[in-house]
Structures are given as C-alpha cells and as structure tokens.
Structure 1
Amino acid sequence: MGFWVHYFQDMGCFPCFRFQLKKAAKRANSSRIEPSVTSNKQPDPPSQSAEKPKPKASVETIEKNDATHKDGSGNIEALSFTFRELATATKNFRQQCFLGQGGFGRVYKGKLENGQLVAVKQLDRNGSQGNKEFLVEVLMLSLLHHENLVNLVGYCSDGDQRLLVYEYMPLGSLEDHLLVISPKQRPLSWYTRMKIATGAAKGLEYLHDKANPPVIYRDLKSSNILLDEEFNPKLSDFGLAKLGPVGDMEHVSSRVMGTYGYCAPEYLRTGHLTAKSDVYSFGVVLLELITGRRVIDTTRSNEEQNLVTWVGASFTMFGTACLSLVGRWLEFEFGTTFSQCPK
C-alpha cells in the first residue's frame, strides 16, 4: 500500500489516472501484538485488596488515549461501560439517536457523562456477527492505533449485552457522500476524493506493513470508511479482521467473509487470504471514488450492474482514454463537458 500512499500524495489534477507498479515497501519492525482481551466475561467487582478498579470514562483518560492514537506508541486503554451508562448516553437508544445499521447491529449517537460525543454500536444477537467478532474488534482496536483507524473508546459486556463505543465521526461514511446523495448535495471535490483515498491507503499500509504480525482488514468498503469534520478518513468495523501470514506462510486459510463486489476473486475461489485481498477491495473503492457508482447496482442495465466488470469492459473497448467512466461530478466541479475533453 506504500505505493498508493505516495501516488495520491503526489496527485494534483484530474489527468493523473496512469497507475504504475512498484515493489511494496518492506515491513517495518515494530513490537509484536500480544492479545490482552481473551474473554467477554464481565470482570468481578474490586475487592478490598490492591486490585486495580475498572477504568472509568474521564477527560484525562480520553485525552491520553487520543495522544497515544496519534503518536502510534503503546496500547489504547479501552474503557469498560455498564449497559445503564450507555443507555443513558443514547437516551435509551431512541430513534432520534439512530445513525445506521450494519452487519454487527444498530449504531446510535451518544453523549457520555464527561460530554464526549460517541457512536455506540449495539450487537444484533440475530445478526451475521456475534461474540467472536465483538472480541476481535475490541482486541484489534485496543492494540492497533493509527490516525486513519477509528478510535475505540470502550465496550460493554454486561450479561448478554455486547456494545462497542467509538469516537463520533460527524460526517458519517464515505458511502453517505458518494453513493447516497440528494440532488441538492454538492458532490465531493477531486481534492477531497484523493484525500480520502490517501488516508484509506495509509490505514491499510499500517495494518499490512507496520503491525507485527500483519493484519488483514477483510472488509474494506465505502460504508466502512468514516469521515471526520475535515473529511479525514478512518477505517472502521474490524470484526472480520484476521492476523496475516508470517514467516514462510504465503496466505492464511479462512472461511470466505466480506461484502459481495469488494472481495478479491482469488479469495472467493480458494479461501486463501493475503494482504492483496485488501488491495483489491481498495481498488474497488477507488473506482467508486472516480465513477461515483455503486460496486453493485441492480437499477442499471445488465452490462453495467457490476462496476468492476463494466470498467474492465470499457477499458477493453475504448482504452484508457474512456471518459465515460468518470462520474458526472467531474463536470460539475470543473465546468466542462465530456465532449470538450481531449480524447
């Protein structure tokens, strides 16, 4: 992913669609990940001994975690919340606080006692993800920290309740601004699209090349790229993440998981998972950024329903100068029609 990071940083204008291949950067040496979350069992109440009490949400703890998240040193202290605390924060999970829903469950906007705005994700016990994904997410986001990964504030495992608490991302997901826009909504500028692509590439580069052992994200898609108030992207939803191959291993074998349209074909065929599986998904997100189209859109004609297939066929037919691939947002931004563009 290092190549894509430098490529987008150097990219300043529309004609730069010519991609070149370079060798991936060598994995940087970093401390080995040691799991610290092994059970979702609620910890016993502290006794009168010197046992350390459960951490509580405080301004000081959150500021410390935020600094750790940015400088990339040490582990982030995930706070343990009670269900009552999170019910209070979300006004008993009222509809007015509802933000969205995914494979894990429903997401609500909340406000902690210290005033911090958060996103609270409540596990749907009948959904596609469960306790295993809950533990993986807490583990991954407690041990992995980067400015382009979403910050885990804490979790709740009271009884059979499973909730995750994240920093609140005010602009929602990339999907909200790219694929689900109203006629009055201004399309993302070319600069903003490349800024988002660069940040997502940096997040993947960290997971693949700097985490030790490497981590394969396995669920990169536009709805999992969250945006702060300045359109800085952060990868979210790590419930499907897996540790990557180490030593002489070339891949890890896995039951095929992910989202249709974003999964690499070789992973779908064999179940063999590598960092390249994430790179394929990243390429699909790039196509969405450039074209403004969904990866799967059943409202279009048969030959255009699958974005990757349509782009491949268009390049085969017309070559790299095929401007029909570019979304109408480009005409809106630059004030020119496609008929005026050089062939």
Structure 2
Amino acid sequence: MFSIKCGGPEMISEGIVFEADNGTLGTAKYHVTTTQKWAVSNVGLFSGRQNREYMQNTLAQVRNTDSPKLYKSSRLSPGSLRYYGLGLENGPYTVKLFFAETSIPNRTSQSWRSLARRVFDVYIQGTRQLRDFDISKEAGGVERAIIKNFTANVTANHLEIHLFWAGKGTPDSNYGPSISAISVVPNFIPTVTGIPPDTPKEKNQTSLIVGITVSAVGLALIIILVIIYKKREREEEEEEKVLLGICPRPNTFSYSELKTATGDFNPSNKLGEGGFGPVYKGTLSDGRVVAVKQLSVASNQGNDQFVTEIATISAVQHRNLVKLYGCCIGGNRRLLVYEYLENKSLDQALFGQNDLYLDWPTRFNICLSTARGLAYLHEESRPRIVHRDVKASNILLDAELCPKISDFGLAKLYDDKKTHITTHLVALSVNIIHQCNAIILKWLFGTEYAMRGHLSEKVDVFGFGVVALEIISGRPNSYNTLENERIYLLEWTWTLHENYQLLSLLDPTLEEFDENEALRVIGVALLCTQSSPSIRPPMSRVVGMLGGDFEVNNVATKPSYLTDWDFKDITGSLKNEELQTSIASNQ
C-alpha cells in the first residue's frame, strides 16, 4: 500500500501517512520516491502560466471534509500526469483519488475567471474510468472536496494512475489535470513483499522506470501534435473570418478533402497542365466528379483578395462557361474546384488521337456557343472579364459536346506584372497564337499594349478568330509537317481568300457541311484576326453575324503582320535581333 500528498509536504490525515510529493517536475520528467514505493511523471508545458512548478498552493478553505489541509495544495499538469505504484503484490486494490477545485473562483464572484472549466480524463491500469471529469461540477462547486473510489487489479506488480487532458474545457492558465492526494490499499492481506521470489527487485524497478521514460517521451510527442493541431485550428479560424467578410461567400473545400478526392493528386488522375497549373480528376465525398486545379504561381495577394476574386468568378454563370464549385485556401495553397467535363478539351477533340468525331453542326455550334460565352464575359457579366488566353485547350466539351470556356478570370488572381508587356506577355501571347512567328507577336500585342496600357477584350476577339479557323479546318494554327505555304493557318487562309478558294480550308474529314455557314464562319474569323483592334468586331456582333442576324462585312485588307514581315523566314538573324531588342525595351 502507499499514500501520496500530491503537490505538498508529508502529512497525516485520518491516521494515514501521505508521503510528500513536492518536488519540481519539468516539461517531460519523472521522479521515483526514495522509498521506491511509487513514482510520478509529467508531460506538457503551460503556455499562459508564469508558475511552471506544476504545484498549486492556495489559502482556500475547502469545505465538506474533516481534513481541509489535505486540499490546500495539489499537483498540476498541462497535459499528462501519471502516478505509479511500485513493487506491489498482485491482487485487487482500492484506489482513492482526492480532488478539490481551488484555482477557479466561485461563480458568485461574477469574475470572468469563474466561468473557466477544468475537464480531463482519468485512467486506472490503462482503462478510462472517468471521461470529461470536471472537479467542481462533480463536487457541486469550487472549494469542495470529492473522493473517487476505484478497484484496480494488479497483475504485473505495479499500478498506473493516469490523469490526461484531452483538450477540452477552458484553455487558460488553469487547465489540465489537478489532484490533491492518492491512497492505494490492498483488498487482501499481503503475504509477501510484492515481488515474486524468482524476480530481482532491482531488475523489476529498472524495467518499470524504463517504461515510465518511454511513456513520458511518447506523451511529449502527443502534446506536440496537440499544439500543432491547435495552431492549425487558429489558422482555419482566421481564414473563416476572411470568408465571413465576403459576399457572396464562395464554397470552400479543405486541402485534405481535395487530397482524398484526387487520390493524393495521383499522376494517373492528372487531366492536363495549363499555364496556371496542373488539373486532376477527383471524386468528392458526395459522389460529384470534379476537376481540381492547383495554381502553380503563389500570388502576393492575401486571402481576402483571393477569395473576393473567387467569389466574383463563382457569381458568373453562363451555360458556355465552366462552373466553378469553390476553392481551397489552406495555408499558402491555392486550389480551384470545377465541374468535370467528360470530353475534355477542344484541341484534343480536333487534333488528338481519339474516336471523337465532330460533324459540321457540332463544329458550327461550338463556334457560336463559344462566341456567346465570350460576349457574356465582355458585355453582360459584372464586372466585365477579359479572358486573355482564348485557345482550343481552354474550351472544354461536355457529354453533349456543348463547349464551355475555362480559366476565365484567372489572370486577375495573379500579380499585375504577370500581364505587363514583358517576356511574360510574350509567353501568354504564344498560347493565343500558338507557335506563330514571334515577330508577329511582338508587333501585334506590343502595339496594343503601347496604345491602351493594358490588354482589352479585343485580344479575346483575335484568339476567337484563330480558334474558329482551327475548328473548321481541323488543324492547329501552326503545322510544320505541311508544305511551306500551308504551315501557318492564318497565312494559308488569306492565300485561299485571295484566290477565291475559301472552302478548300474545310477539314477533309467532314462528310458534309453547310456552305453558307462555313463561309460565314471564315469571314467572321478574318474580321476577328485583323491587326488593328478597332477593326475587330465586338463579340456580341460576332454572335449576330454567326447567327445570320447581321451581314458579314467583306474583308479586303490583308493584316499588316502578314504583309510587313517575311512570314516564312523565322530563322533570320536580323529578325531575331529585332525581336530580342523589342522585348528588352519593354521590360
């Protein structure tokens, strides 16, 4: 048997000698009493308490007990407190735990500290006996004694009493386990010293001390994990405050949720990779199949600005725009969650190796519907949005081959310098005109930026014109395996136009087509790809011309980017030097 005065000097109460337990314990430390009857270990660190000796002394007068002095001091722990009985004879024991709440003021004081709650769990021999134990609640108030009795069975000559804070209650300076005294008495008449004859006492105690040390280290790791978890909770609370200030509030996903949905972003689920980052197929817990885009460039914008932009894009709804379900802003991660479209991108349908056949009605509908989506972005949505990256790979097809524009508005989520007329702009322009002569890119987009100071919606009009020609011809804008006069789609189209052979541009795999609609699409594409932005029609007029509501204006002027430069000589050193000089001057 043994009795301990937890957190205080030796004391006799009701004829029982309670041994002193008033030594200082550290953040992760154990202590074996000189009598070698028992030991104590502590794990944890008080973050908001100046006195870190893990003992509580008070002048409070504990009521409803004949031994109030027994409760004037107590042993505390910010996380885990264990007491061990050593060298016990195997058999049943009665364990008494003495508690009194002396750190929290009475509710009648009307102090804010009186609202605190101390909640912890109690384990005996590894079995939880008390869950969410609140001393003051069990005792009927603070400064009131309460004794808890348990029966424990000792089978390996030692007893373990474990008080554990599970993160509940009030995390102020008075949280964590607290206990005033312990008494352990056998329920039988001892016949031996408690150590089997064939087991050396020193060996048994050494093994137990090793076990205590391992347990202390393990619990220290648990406390560290709890601290990390609490820190992450605070970060999530800060992000929640940001979201509460956004109206309309966008739907958000946790990073772990998207990580699970995509199989930890498994390469087998990768759908592709665009200028803004890789895209993965995923399945949410509710069964929805989605496309998850990881933004590869970390913007300098804060969470509030990022979420505001996402809320704007989420509010833009049109049948020819990909629906954005929500976003993830966990830590420094930026992810977007879109609807998943079965037939992937238009460039894969037109130029990829697949069994998808696009007949003429489907192609014409793709042209018209894409124009409607861009017209909505330019003229009907609030705020107006310039896509800045219109190309076949950014047009996706659903199960019915209806086109939906993707990545609209993403340029707004990046730093302003990303859209400046520098090498970054040239790279962006390459996406629009693909692999055309770089001199054309410098001349065309450099001129527009110099005139306007920014890229207007007329850049999208030009990109649409190129896409329209790709749709009806079934070939990309640049195709190096063809003969010289057909390598560049724009140049070849103008050659056919000048020779009155425009229908030769159509994809030879088309079994039949509407001649009037085909000529209308080509005429609109030639207008859209004019070098002067002022000549290019707005997208609303493009929709009208494609639908037959407006007459398609005749185009008589060949764009200057085809006449002012030797389009075929893309390796000339003079032109390369001019390009490099122009780009450097704009940086």
With the shorter chain as reference, the TM-score category is 0.5 to 0.7
2:250 matches 1:78 = yes
The Cα shift of 1:76 comes to: 6.5
2:481 matches 1:299 = yes
The Cα shift of 1:261 comes to: 6.7
The Cα shift of 1:77 comes to: 4.7
1:326 aligns with 506
1:154-193 C-alpha deviation (Å, 9 max, x unpaired): 11122232211101111101111111134xx253011111
Give the aligned residue type for 2:448: T
1:288 aligns with 470
- SS of the residue corresponding to residue 107 of structure 1 reads strand
CA contact (8 A) 1:149 1:235 kept: yes
2:337 aligns with 165
CA contact (8 A) 1:104 1:130 kept: no
Distance 1:240 1:188, change over 3 A: same
The Cα shift of 1:130 comes to: 4.0
5+ residue gaps, structure 2, are: 1-232, 414-418, 434-440, 514-587
1:110 aligns with 282
> Which sits farther off after the overlay, 212-221 or 146-155?
212-221
Separation of aligned partners in 1, 2:252 and 2:335: 10
Separation of aligned partners in 1, 2:272 and 2:512: 29
CA contact (8 A) 1:219 1:240 kept: no
1:267 aligns with 445
Distance 1:224 1:140, change over 3 A: farther
Separation of aligned partners in 1, 2:382 and 2:272: 33
CA contact (8 A) 1:218 1:240 kept: no
1:58-78 C-alpha deviation (Å, 9 max, x unpaired): xxxxxxxxxxxxxxxxx8753
CA contact (8 A) 2:385 2:408 kept: no
CA contact (8 A) 1:78 1:152 kept: no
CA contact (8 A) 1:107 1:121 kept: yes
Distance 1:104 1:259, change over 3 A: same
Distance 1:45 1:96, change over 3 A: closer
2:327 matches 1:155 = yes
Separation of aligned partners in 1, 2:365 and 2:276: 28
2:496 matches 1:314 = yes
CA contact (8 A) 1:152 1:164 kept: yes
CA contact (8 A) 2:292 2:338 kept: yes
Distance 1:156 1:212, change over 3 A: closer
1:91-125 C-alpha deviation (Å, 9 max, x unpaired): 1111221111111221111011111110011233x
Separation of aligned partners in 1, 2:374 and 2:300: 22
Correspondence 1:51-130 to 2 at 5 A: 77-124=249-296, 129-130=297-298
Distance 1:103 1:175, change over 3 A: same
The Cα shift of 1:141 comes to: 1.7
CA contact (8 A) 1:76 1:145 kept: no
Q: Work out which structure has the larger RCO, using CA pairs closer than 8 Å and 6 or more positions apart in sequence.
A: 1
Distance 1:296 1:83, change over 3 A: same
Give the aligned residue type for 1:302: N
The alignment covers a number of residue pairs equal to 253
- SS of the residue corresponding to residue 329 of structure 1 reads coil
Separation of aligned partners in 1, 2:343 and 2:313: 21
Give the aligned residue type for 2:509: W
1:128-166 C-alpha deviation (Å, 9 max, x unpaired): x44269949625522322121111111112223221110
- SS of the residue corresponding to residue 432 of structure 2 reads coil
Distance 1:295 1:76, change over 3 A: farther
CA contact (8 A) 2:386 2:408 kept: no
Return the match for 1:141 from 304, 313, 333: 313
1:28-50 C-alpha deviation (Å, 9 max, x unpaired): xxxxxxxxxxxxxx995449xxx
- SS of the residue corresponding to residue 209 of structure 1 reads helix
2:393 aligns with 223
TM-score (normalizing by structure 2) = 0.39
Separation of aligned partners in 1, 2:462 and 2:486: 19
Separation of aligned partners in 2, 1:306 and 1:173: 22
The Cα shift of 1:284 comes to: 0.7
Give the aligned residue type for 1:188: L
Return the match for 1:191 from 330, 336, 361: 361
Q: As a proportion of its length, which structure holds more strand?
A: 2
Separation of aligned partners in 2, 1:274 and 1:208: 10
CA contact (8 A) 2:251 2:325 kept: yes
Correspondence 1:212-251 to 2 at 5 A: 212-239=382-409, 241=411
Give the aligned residue type for 1:266: L
Separation of aligned partners in 1, 2:283 and 2:290: 6
CA contact (8 A) 1:217 1:242 kept: no
Distance 1:137 1:260, change over 3 A: farther
Q: For the pair shown, which has the larger CA radius of gyration, 1 or 2?
A: 2
CA contact (8 A) 1:218 1:242 kept: no
Separation of aligned partners in 2, 1:161 and 1:286: 36
What is the root-mean-square deviation in Å for CA atoms of aligned residues?
3.1
What percentage of aligned pairs have identical amino acids?
Answer: 41
Give the aligned residue type for 2:255: F
Distance 1:46 1:140, change over 3 A: closer
CA contact (8 A) 1:200 1:234 kept: yes
